[in-house]
């Protein structure tokens, strides 16, 4: 058969079909439309529209084909429009049949048959005659149904025939691919049509069989029944369920006269564990989880497949084409979906709306949960519970105020690091556990408000408990000490703005019994006194000059202080120790002071630094959602000057830098990076340290507490570092870095200089206060000795004459050797002045050693031989250099070096060098008297 012959047969069928459509139009559709309204008549209106389009399409194509024939004798594949217009045909047919199916489902033909209008009645005989040609059935409704779909299906069959002829006629030609493609499309259309009609038929009979109670609610035009437990048996595990119906948009469980429907978009289906039943499917939906129990493997497989296909198509918002296919897009629906849902069940979520990502019937991923009372959570969910980072807003009783929790969550509870801005203008930044403040945290009420305060310390069960620092900004006082259930309880120190401080025992927020009160003039009072520092009751007052007053004190208003007691003027009590009494070391052993903070980090390591924990713990959050990032805040990070954080895998990195050579620079980087756990730890410790010792806390009686704390930090940070290293080695399956432990490296000593800059300003302030008096005396001594010329000073200090480096001096005409100043041992003095340029105690010691080197170099040059001095010679020379270097606050410097230098070098050279410098410092304080008498003896 040739292509021309195929085209001819196409033309023939089209002409027949067109003629037939014309008859339907005349005999059925037009009278029906003119007969006025009846139930569902608008469906016929729609059907008519699609019909007209289809008719038009057929007519037009007939015409073009005819023209092609008349134009030339040779007809080509190009003229067989079915190939080129396949999509258009498909579209028109799909529309027609979809509407037809709806008509069938809603029993439109029955309604039409019962039409009571006059027009219709008068038309009936003609209609019956026409219908008789097509259907033997006496019922008009059935006949209508047949007449309006069968010819169309037949026509589609004709098209299929034509296609197979065409394929034979065309053979191998450029168009064969297009022909095959169109053939396939029409085949699909055919199966689509039969599926649509089958579904419609099933659905229609379902609606007919179900009572009004169900159909009133369930029956909607586009809904189709896809599977029925009466057809393929399954039982639902929830109670006694009579029937399970799967529609294209919902899953319905009928129970007696009740039913429940589940939106397929939020239905998850998978094979259940074996213990539930042999052939069970688990159905998960919001607030719902049950099983469908099938009789055999095959039944379960069919239900599972159908359910999944239905869910996927429901999610896609359109049916597949054809509706069911083995090959097509048979994939399962995605596990994670985005949807909005209102919870109904009693409980925490009742009437709350969740809009966000779902998985297996539960909020999972990012989403927003809004309660009718105004509460609102935006953030991460996992298996239905807040998990990850999220922001939770709780409206306060008074309007316009919210408690805002920006927190990490674990299984629905605040856990890990968070920031909470309460409606009452207080802000908490710290750790949570099980929805309560727990561990280390800072609670602050801004200083612009009334009763402003700041608490830095430990929490337990949402209350201040353990060691903590409280600043009462109105009283300008700081409490350092123990807490219990939000109250000061146990040992405590109170430091006041004036510099006075006291130590005592607190009970339920007030001091009880006697305490030690250190006054700003260095008097010490031991006994009973009030919070306003008034002596009341028994006590002993020791004056700075050593006098003591022991007795009973009372304070009547307007009459001042009264006492009955004994004044001891022997001065026996005078003791340096009293003026520099150190507080708190015994009461708050350094190991327990910030235990909760440090343990948080050690615990984190113990639990293996898991990915999501890392965020929760370190309090930063790598967010993809902009909305969340905007509201992100960081406690221990200063974001503004933060380097763009190249977030690296901490454990990977730590392994790569464990060698001693790279360790220091690694640690340095870690400490500067506030996203690194070590940097975070340092920041937290810095906050704790500043909370204790800066501003009001700068009190000389706290020096020992502070310095031992810094050393302890170094120790602990090293422990944390080793913990990370250990963990990293384990991960890598490497042996634990024993090298590091055997290398003799003193870890804490290596850490100390790296962390010291963070604490140095506050710590050094304490040293300065502690040495205020000595440094004053030293300063006077320096000023006094500075007036001397170099020669006079060398003479005064008993430096042996042959060490006087005078021949070194190059003098101008106007200078005389005996009168020059600040010209000798310049290299050594310059070197020593560098002492204040570093905070690292070891570097300070190195500077000291270099100073000695410079002295020796100068002398060696002078003598022309190696200088091998004994202390008899060295000490006067050193005195000279120290005097000329004029280092301010030398006492504070020396004490700091002494406290923070590596203790294992005790007795060694550095110890010796430092001792020599200390002895010079001691001597200069006394030198002023000696110097004056020396002058007197010189003058006489």
Partner 1 sequence: MMAIRELKVCLLGDTGVGKSSIVCRFVQDHFDHNISPTIGASFMTKTVPCGNELHKFLIWDTAGQERFHSLAPMYYRGSAAAVIVYDITKQDSFHTLKKWVKELKEHGPENIVMAIAGNKCDLSDIREVPMKDAKEYAESIGAIVVETSAKNAINIEELFQGISRQIPPLETHENGNSGTIKLGKQTAQTTRRCC
By CB under 8 A, name the binding residues for partner 1: 798, 849, 852-853, 855-857, 866-872, 874-876, 903-904, 906-909, 912-913, 915-916, 918-919, 922-923, 926, 930
Decide whether 228 or 708 has the Cβ nearer to partner 1: 708
Q: Kindly report whether the peptide bond that precedes residue 566 is cis, defined as omega within 30 degrees of 0.
A: no
What is the rounded distance in angstroms from the CA atom of residue 122 to the CA atom of residue 695? Answer: 105
E strand or H helix at 79, and its extent? Answer: none
Decide whether 104 or 714 has the Cβ nearer to partner 1: 714
Decide whether 837 or 870 has the Cβ nearer to partner 1: 870
Is the separation of the CB atoms in 878 and 855 below 8 Å?
Answer: yes
The nearest distance, CB 691 to partner 1, in angstroms, is: 33
The nearest distance, CB 918 to partner 1, in angstroms, is: 6
The nearest distance, CB 929 to partner 1, in angstroms, is: 12
The nearest distance, CB 816 to partner 1, in angstroms, is: 28
The nearest distance, CB 870 to partner 1, in angstroms, is: 3
Distances (CA, A) of 137 to 144, 197, 204: 10, 19, 19
The nearest distance, CB 913 to partner 1, in angstroms, is: 7
The nearest distance, CB 703 to partner 1, in angstroms, is: 20
Decide whether 647 or 926 has the Cβ nearer to partner 1: 926
Q: Please state, as a whole number, how many other Cβ atoms lie within 10 Å of the Cβ of residue 397.
A: 6
E strand or H helix at 518, and its extent? Answer: strand 510-518
Is the separation of the CB atoms in 674 and 642 below 8 Å?
Answer: yes
Q: Identify which of 13, 186, 19, 193 has the alpha carbon closest to the alpha carbon of residue 96.
A: 193
The nearest distance, CB 773 to partner 1, in angstroms, is: 18
- Exposed/middle/buried for residue 111 (C-beta within 10 Å: 0-12, 13-18, 19+): middle
Decide whether 618 or 858 has the Cβ nearer to partner 1: 858
Q: Identify which of 599, 677, 683, 611 has the alpha carbon closest to the alpha carbon of residue 408.
A: 611
What is the rounded distance in angstroms from the CA atom of residue 476 to the CA atom of residue 496? Answer: 6
The nearest distance, CB 916 to partner 1, in angstroms, is: 8
The nearest distance, CB 922 to partner 1, in angstroms, is: 6
Q: Rg for the chain (alpha carbons), in Å?
A: 47
Decide whether 508 or 860 has the Cβ nearer to partner 1: 860
The nearest distance, CB 800 to partner 1, in angstroms, is: 11
E strand or H helix at 137, and its extent? Answer: none
Decide whether 685 or 831 has the Cβ nearer to partner 1: 831
Decide whether 104 or 847 has the Cβ nearer to partner 1: 847
The nearest distance, CB 808 to partner 1, in angstroms, is: 18
Question: In this structure, what token pair is assigned to residue 228?
Answer: 């029925």
Residues in contact with 380: Cβ distance below 8 Å, sequence separation at least 6, in sequence order: 365, 366, 386, 387, 388, 389, 390, 409
Decide whether 636 or 921 has the Cβ nearer to partner 1: 921
The nearest distance, CB 843 to partner 1, in angstroms, is: 16
SS3 of 787, please? Answer: coil
Sheet containing 225-228: which strands, arranged edge to edge? 225-228, 243-247, 250-255, 258-263
What is the rounded distance in angstroms from the CA atom of residue 799 to the CA atom of residue 340? Answer: 91
- Exposed/middle/buried for residue 639 (C-beta within 10 Å: 0-12, 13-18, 19+): exposed
The nearest distance, CB 914 to partner 1, in angstroms, is: 10
Q: How far apart are the first and last CA of the chain?
A: 148
The nearest distance, CB 777 to partner 1, in angstroms, is: 15
The nearest distance, CB 879 to partner 1, in angstroms, is: 9
Decide whether 296 or 798 has the Cβ nearer to partner 1: 798
The nearest distance, CB 544 to partner 1, in angstroms, is: 23
Is the separation of the CB atoms in 828 and 878 below 8 Å?
Answer: no
Residues in contact with 545: Cβ distance below 8 Å, sequence separation at least 6, in sequence order: 571, 574
Q: How many CA atoms lie within 13 A of 293 on its CB side?
A: 13
SS3 of 626, please? Answer: helix
Decide whether 341 or 852 has the Cβ nearer to partner 1: 852
SS3 of 296, please? Answer: coil
What is the rounded distance in angstroms from the CA atom of residue 183 to the CA atom of residue 179? Answer: 6
Decide whether 211 or 907 has the Cβ nearer to partner 1: 907
What is the rounded distance in angstroms from the CA atom of residue 900 to the CA atom of residue 830? Answer: 24
Q: What size, in residues, is the chain? A: 940
Decide whether 283 or 914 has the Cβ nearer to partner 1: 914
Is the separation of the CB atoms in 303 and 291 below 8 Å?
Answer: no
SS3 per-residue string spanning 378-425: EEEEECCEEEEEEEEEEECCCCCCEEEEEEEEECCEEEEEEEEECCCC
Decide whether 135 or 919 has the Cβ nearer to partner 1: 919
Decide whether 703 or 923 has the Cβ nearer to partner 1: 923
Question: In this structure, what token pair is assigned to residue 916?
Answer: 């020599």
CA 427 centroid distance within chain? 18
Decide whether 537 or 903 has the Cβ nearer to partner 1: 903
- Exposed/middle/buried for residue 73 (C-beta within 10 Å: 0-12, 13-18, 19+): exposed
Decide whether 200 or 894 has the Cβ nearer to partner 1: 894
Decide whether 231 or 849 has the Cβ nearer to partner 1: 849
Q: Identify which of 504, 520, 501 has the alpha carbon closest to the alpha carbon of residue 512.
A: 504
The nearest distance, CB 906 to partner 1, in angstroms, is: 6
Is the separation of the CB atoms in 304 and 269 below 8 Å?
Answer: yes
């Amino acid at each position: 058969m040739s292509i021309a012959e195929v085209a001819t047969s196409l033309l023939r069928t089209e002409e027949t079909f067109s003629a037939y459509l014309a008859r339907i139009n005349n005999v059925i559709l037009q009278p029906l439309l003119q007969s006025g309204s009846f139930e569902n008549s608008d469906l016929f209106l729609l059907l008519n529209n699609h019909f007209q389009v289809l008719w038009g399409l057929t007519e037009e194509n007939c015409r073009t084909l005819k023209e092609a024939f008349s134009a030339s004798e040779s007809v080509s594949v190009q003229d067989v429009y079915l190939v080129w217009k396949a999509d258009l045909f498909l579209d028109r047919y799909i529309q027609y049949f979809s509407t037809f199916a709806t008509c069938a489902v809603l029993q439109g033909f029955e309604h039409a048959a019962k039409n009571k209008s006059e027009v219709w009645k008068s038309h009936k005989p003609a209609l019956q005659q026409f219908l008789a040609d097509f259907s033997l059935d006496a019922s008009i409704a059935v006949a209508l149904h047949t007449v309006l779909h069968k010819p169309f299906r037949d026509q589609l069959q004709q098209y299929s025939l034509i296609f197979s002829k065409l394929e034979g006629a065309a053979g191998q030609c450029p168009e064969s691919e297009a022909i095959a493609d169109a053939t396939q499309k029409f085949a699909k259309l055919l199966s689509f049509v039969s599926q649509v009609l089958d579904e419609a038929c099933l659905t229609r009979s379902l609606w007919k069989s179900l009572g009004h109670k169900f159909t009133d609610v369930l029956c909607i035009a586009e809904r189709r029944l896809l599977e029925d437990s009466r057809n393929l048996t399954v039982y639902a595990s929830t109670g006694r369920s009579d029937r399970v119906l799967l529609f294209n948009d919902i899953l319905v469980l009928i129970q007696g006269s009740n039913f429940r429907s589940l939106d397929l978009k939020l239905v998850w289906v998978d094979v259940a564990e074996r213990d539930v039943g042999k052939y069970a499917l688990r159905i998960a939906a919001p607030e719902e989880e049950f099983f469908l129990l099938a009789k055999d493997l095959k039944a379960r497989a069919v239900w599972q497949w159908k359910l999944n296909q239905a869910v996927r198509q429901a999610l896609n918002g359109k049916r597949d084409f054809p509706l069911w296919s083995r090959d097509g897009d048979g994939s399962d629906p995605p596990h994670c979906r985005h949807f909005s849902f209102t919870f109904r069940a009693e409980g925490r979520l009742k009437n709350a709306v969740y809009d966000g990502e779902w998985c297996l019937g539960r909020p999972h991923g990012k989403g927003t949960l809004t309660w009718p009372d105004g509460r609102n959570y935006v953030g991460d969910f996992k298996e239905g519970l807040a998990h990850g980072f999220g922001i939770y807003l709780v409206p306060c009783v008074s309007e316009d105020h919210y408690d805002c929790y920006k927190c990490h969550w674990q299984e629905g509870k605040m856990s890990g690091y968070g920031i909470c801005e309460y409606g009452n203008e207080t802000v908490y930044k710290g750790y949570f556990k099980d929805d309560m403040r727990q561990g280390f945290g800072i609670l602050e009420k801004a200083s612009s408000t009334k009763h402003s305060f700041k608490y830095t310390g430990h929490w337990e069960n949402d209350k201040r408990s353990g060691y903590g620092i409280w600043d009462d900004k109105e009283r300008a006082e700081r409490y350092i000490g123990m807490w219990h259930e939000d109250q000061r309880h146990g040992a405590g120190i109170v430091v006041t703005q004036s510099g006075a401080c006291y130590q005592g025992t607190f009970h339920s927020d007030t001091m009880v019994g006697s305490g030690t009160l250190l006054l700003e003039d260095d008097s010490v009072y031991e006994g009973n006194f009030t919070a306003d520092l008034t002596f009341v009751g028994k006590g002993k007052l020791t004056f700075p000059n050593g006098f003591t007053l022991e007795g009973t004190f009372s304070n009547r208003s307007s009459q001042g202080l009264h006492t009955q007691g004994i004044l001891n003027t022997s001065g026996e009590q005078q003791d340096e120790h009293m003026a520099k009494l150190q507080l708190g070391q015994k009461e708050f052993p350094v190991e327990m002071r910030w235990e909760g903070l440090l343990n948080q980090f050690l615990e984190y390591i113990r639990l293996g630094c898991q990915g999501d924990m890392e965020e929760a713990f370190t309090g930063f959050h790598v967010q993809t959602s902009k909305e969340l990032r905007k509201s992100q805040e960081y406690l221990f990070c200063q974001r503004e000057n933060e380097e763009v954080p190249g977030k690296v895998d901490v454990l990977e990195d730590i392994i790569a830098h464990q060698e001693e050579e790279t360790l220091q620079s690694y640690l340095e980087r870690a400490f500067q990076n506030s996203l690194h756990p070590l940097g975070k730890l340092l920041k937290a410790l810095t906050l704790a340290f500043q909370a204790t010792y800066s501003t009001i806390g700068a009190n000389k009686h706290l020096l020992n507490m502070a310095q031992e704390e810094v050393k302890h930090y170094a120790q602990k940070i090293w422990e944390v570092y080793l913990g990370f290293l250990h963990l990293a080695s384990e991960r890598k399956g490497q042996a634990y870095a024993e090298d590091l432990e055997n290398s003799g490296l003193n870890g804490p000593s290596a850490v100390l200089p790296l962390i010291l800059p963070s604490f140095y300003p506050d710590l050094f302030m304490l040293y300065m206060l502690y040495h205020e008096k000595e440094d004053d005396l030293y300063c006077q001594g320096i000023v006094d000795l500075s007036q001397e010329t170099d020669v006079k000073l060398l003479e005064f200090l008993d430096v042996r004459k042959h060490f006087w480096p005078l021949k070194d001096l190059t003098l101008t005409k106007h200078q005389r050797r005996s009168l020059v100043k600040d010209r000798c041992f310049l290299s050594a003095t310059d070197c020593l002045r560098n002492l204040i340029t570093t905070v690292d105690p070891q570097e300070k010691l190195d500077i000291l050693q270099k100073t000695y080197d410079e002295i020796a170099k100068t002398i060696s040059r002078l003598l022309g031989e190696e200088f091998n001095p004994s202390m008899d010679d060295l000490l006067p020379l050193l005195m000279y250099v120290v005097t000329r270097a004029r280092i301010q606050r030398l006492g504070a410097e020396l004490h700091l070096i002494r406290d923070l230098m590596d203790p294992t070098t005790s007795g060694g050279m550095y110890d010796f060098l430092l001792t020599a410098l200390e002895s010079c410092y001691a001597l200069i304080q006394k030198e002023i008297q000696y110097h004056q008498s020396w002058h007197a003896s010189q003058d006489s």
